[in-house]
Amino acid sequence: MKALSSDQLDVVCNRSWLQAKADATVTLTAELHTLSEVLRTELARRVGEWDVPGGFDASAFQVARGESLENLPYQYLDCPRYYSRDEIFSFRVLIWWGKAVNHCWVVKGERLGAIRERLISRRGEMDPEMCIWAGSDLWDWSAPLPLSQVDDGELRRMDFFKIGFSQPLTAPHLSATGLQADALAAWGAIVPLFESD
């Protein structure tokens, strides 16, 4: 059996660090629940203008966490949350410890074609900071690309979209007001793509 390195032993034995990690997890979970209330209010106001999947429940959301997204902890909010075998229509706020805060829509299925064509036709109007996560795996969060670096042909080949914004892990972005402001900005930048023509 391989022995722990001195750095690893310091982490395992550092009770104050472990308690701070646990406390930060609780705080961020509470902030994601508060954000879910803000987003559900916004959703109730806007969802009638959108083309959404059958069976879509505007009140559905989930706050969850894990310890191993590329070996790092993460917490997320899906609001709204719609996942079926063939379709996904969800807004995700992903706090990926050690990496970034991502705010994006995840879309797959029947509505993707119309959303994609709206995106292509309005590309020049979109926020220049907007990103596409172009990995082949729906759950790959490691490589957001600026929308400007993804050509129309590549967009048309994608069978799902993750489109939004990636923010650095800083105090302003991780505060309750920062999470809310960033989420609403991402939401507002993308939802025009969902409005029925």
The DSSP result for 111-144, as a single string, is THHHHHHHHHHTGGGS-TT-EEE--SSTT--S-E
Q: What is the pLDDT at residue 93?
A: 97
Q: Give the neighbor-by-neighbor strand order of the sheet with 72-78.
A: 62-69, 72-78, 88-96, 100-108, 160-167, 131-133, 144-146
Residues 195/49, Cβ–Cβ less than 8 Å? yes
Q: What is the pLDDT at residue 10?
A: 86
What is the distance between the alpha carbons of residues 148 and 150, in angstroms, rounded to a whole number?
6
Which pair of tokens denotes residue 19? 């308690």
Residues 21/98, Cβ–Cβ less than 8 Å? no
For the chain, the average pLDDT equals 90
Chain segment 70-127, per-residue pLDDT in tens? 999 999 999 999 999 899 999 999 999 999 999 999 999 988 988 999 999 998 888 8
Q: What is the pLDDT at residue 65?
A: 96
Q: Which domains does the chain have, with CATH numbers?
A: 6-194 (3.30.930.20)
Residues 35/65, Cβ–Cβ less than 8 Å? no
* SS3 assignment, position 38: helix
Q: What is the pLDDT at residue 196?
A: 66
What is the distance between the alpha carbons of residues 31 and 123, in angstroms, rounded to a whole number?
32
pTM of the model as a whole: 0.92
* SS3 assignment, position 14: coil
Interstrand relation of 160-167 and 131-133 (parallel, antiparallel or unpaired): antiparallel
Q: What is the pLDDT at residue 74?
A: 96
Residue numbers in the chain where pLDDT is lower than 50: none
